[in-house]
Amino acid sequence: MKYSPLQEARYQYCPKLPSMLRNDICSIVAKRGTNTESATDRDAIRELFPNTYGMPMITFEQGQNTQTFDSIHVGVILSGGQAPGGHNVISGLFDALKALNPASRLIGFKGGPSGILKNDTLEITDTLISEYRNTGGFDIIGSGRTKLETEQQFETCAKVCKQHAIDALVIIGGDDSNTNAAVLAEYFLQKKHPIRVIGCPKTIDGDLKNDSIEVSFGFDTAVKTYSELIGNIERDANSAKKYWHFIKLMGRSASHIALECALQTQPNICLISEEIEQRKMSLEQIVDMIAAAVAKRATLKQNFGVVLIPEGVIEFIPEVKALISELNDLLAKYHEDYGKLIDWESQKSFVSSKLSSRSSQVFSSLPVAICQQLLMDRDPHGNVQVSRIETEKLLAEMVQAQLTAMSTAGTYTGSFSTQTHFFGYEGRCAFPSNFDADYCYSLGYTAAMLIAHGCSGYLSSVTNLTESADQWRSGGVPITMMMNMETRHGQHKPVIKKALVDLDGAPFKYFASHRDDWAVHTSFTYPGAIQYYGPSEVCDRPSITLTLERQKRS
């Protein structure tokens, strides 16, 4: 098979490890700290996880270790959406297992969690892994969104693991996947199945983080990929000087991607969902804000600009959030009756008659295309599929209408033409940045060390990430420490708490202190493509968000 020159070169890249992990792996010791507690709902979580609650933090250090490691058989699962660096987690896991004992084996379950339920496996070998090192995607074994949450599923997992003599499972996923990992670890201990479970923090959305998980892998590469595209569009806008570009970005529950891309590219406007919710901004207020910026720039003869929009912002606008909640309940309750309606007018009339008066007004005020998107099939959790709602087109259309009214009133004299974009899949499988390649490899290596030292119910953790990789620290975080109780499908369940944009945090404050200037003056910056070769300050740099967060802590 013929590969591109970059692909060939990336195969040869040697990911950097924390200096301690580069030493004799058999001389590394696991230092256990004090027992931990969950941030909230401690009694409820302790009751649900009696075997894994309160476990100590783990840090790996160089020390006197006379232990010899037996061969370890490990199963690995990629769970959820793709994120750059997943292949390097598996590479680091594979290399560490072989360093512990060359007879160790790594078994991949194909197609995500369903692979273990179907006993669909693929052994990871040196020959196989060599074709995936430092590359994007999850295609080495594939991924999936099947949830492991029932006792029957857990028993199937145990049976399949025993069939393959698997000593431990590594689940590479986001907050929901790692919540399932914690439940599975607890179940195995309760039933005395000798199978350890370790998680790795993955999601490009960046909402799986805390003091011990500084960033989820894939975020760095995704935001740099999107920022390159945004910078290209900004340069085009500044060249043509005739379009306002409305760009929707990934991020349903949190606006970390939008915020980081704004810090990297300095657009005229960037909406932050968490701020909109806190300020209880209506859709009308958001449109007025954007229109005011467009009008102000028009007075400077700058009839162009860029607006960044988080994917999930529509769910944070109070009146639209209430409408979506009513629609979710309505479509679940009247699923059969609604399914019999064929034409749009009858569908609209039916829905409007069942909504509250306020939500009916909001529904009627929206463009037809957006109303139809709000009524599309729900996801497996019964929620609206926000990625399919063209919020960028909604805002562009509503701003156009507002500017037309302002023009009639004589308060706007510019020209307004729009282009709309949605950047999503473009960032999920890119060649990982050097940061993500190194970070992911270290996460996989650390996961193997946690298994070798008998840990279960932990999330692999690599910290001190704004320093050079040799100064990174390696260890494990009890997953129960990151949990709280939330209502899901009418039931109170333990879940890893999503990390939203902190409006009191350094990244948002920096953005907020500059956005008024960016809104009026053309202040675009152009990050360019991800660099793999050259000065460390260019090629290995972490995200601006992580840098600002760590500066504040230090």
Any domain includes 535: no
Per the structure, the count of domains in the chain is: 2
Are 212 and 349 part of one and the same domain?
no
Task: Supply the DSSP string of 314-381, one letter for each residue.
Answer: GGTSHHHHHHHHHHHHHHHHTHHHHHT--SHHHHHHHHHHHS-HHHHHHHHHS-HHHHHHHTSPP-TT
Residue numbers of the domain that contains 77: 5-218+432-488
Nearest C-alpha neighbor of 457 from the set 215, 211, 196? 196
Q: Looking at the structure, do residues 174 and 320 belong to the same domain, yes or no?
A: no
Whether 372 contacts 361, CB under 8 Å: no
pLDDT at 238: 98
**CATH code of the domain in which 475 resides:** 3.40.50.450
What are the tokens at 35? 């027992």
Catalogue the long-range contacts made by 513-522 (C-beta closer than 8 Å, 24 or more residues apart): 514/266, 515/262, 515/269, 515/270, 518/266, 518/267, 518/268, 518/269, 519/268, 519/269, 519/293, 519/296, 519/297, 520/268, 520/293, 520/296, 520/297, 520/300, 521/300, 522/238, 522/268, 522/302
CATH number at residue 263: 3.40.50.460
Residue 493 lies in a domain: no
**What is the DSSP track for 28-90?**
EEEEEEEE---SS-HHHHHHH-TTTTTPEEEEEEE------PPP-EEEEEEBSS--TTHHHHH
pLDDT number for residue 2: 75
> Are residues 378 and 331 in contact, defined by beta-carbon separation less than 8 angstroms?
yes
Q: Are residues 405 and 275 in the same domain?
A: yes
User: Does an H or E element contain 308, and which?
Assistant: strand 305-310
pLDDT at 553: 57
Same domain (yes/no): 402, 451: no
How far apart, in whole angstroms, are the C-alpha atoms of residue 239 and residue 301?
A: 14
540 within a domain of the structure (yes/no): no
d(CA 378, CA 332): 9
pTM of the model: 0.95
pLDDT at 491: 79
For 87-125, how does the pLDDT look when each residue is reduced to its tens digit (9 = 90+)? 999 999 999 999 999 999 999 999 999 999 999 999 999
SS3 content of the chain, % helix, strand, coil (to 5): 45, 15, 35
Are 198 and 450 in contact by the 8 Å Cβ rule? The answer is yes
Distance CA 436, CA 548 (A): 18
Q: Cβ distance 240 to 413 under 8 Å?
A: no
**311 and 323 share one domain:** yes
Residue at 120 is within a domain: yes
3-state DSSP call for residue 178? helix
Residue 354: both structure tokens together:
């069942």
Under DSSP, is residue 515 helix (H, G, I), strand (E, B) or coil?
Answer: helix
* 288 and 250 assigned to the same domain: yes
Please check whether residues 211 and 286 belong to one and the same domain: no
pLDDT at position 489: 64
Please give the Cα distance from 396 to 373 (Å, whole number).
Answer: 16
**How long is the chain?**
554
Report if residue 188 sits inside a domain. yes
Query: Which residues are within 8 A (CB) of 188 and not within 5 positions of it... i.e. 6 or more apart?
Result: 154, 158, 194, 195, 196, 197, 456
Are 386 and 353 in a shared domain? yes
- 357, 472: one domain: no
In this structure, the answer to whether residues 384 and 473 fall within a common structural domain is no
Give pLDDT < 70 ranges for the chain. Answer: 1, 66, 379-382, 489-490, 552-554
Catalytic residue, from 167, 175, 205, 438: name it. 205
CA dihedral 77, 78, 84, 85 (to 10 degrees): 0
* 3 CB-near residues (< 8 Å, 6+ apart): 11
C-alpha torsion sign, points 454, 459, 460, 464: negative
* pLDDT tens readout for residues 181-213: 999 999 999 999 999 999 999 999 999 999 899
Q: Measured between alpha carbons, how far is 262 from 110 in angstroms, rounded to an integer?
A: 37
Would 24 be classed as within a structural domain?
yes
Does a structural domain hold residue 495? no
- Domain-located, residue 25: yes
- Asked if 209 contacts 201 with a C-beta cutoff of 8 angstroms, the reply is yes
Say yes or no: 484 and 419 in one domain. no
Same domain, 120 and 211: yes
**pLDDT for the residue numbered 357:** 94
Q: State how far the Cα of 438 lies from the Cα of 113, in Å rounded to an integer.
A: 26
SS (H, E, C) 225-292: HHHHHHHHHHHHHHHHCCCEEEEEECCCCCCHHHHHHHHHHCCCEECCHHHHHHCCCCHHHHHHHHHH
* Single-letter code of the amino acid located at 58: I
Q: Is 540 a catalytic residue?
A: no
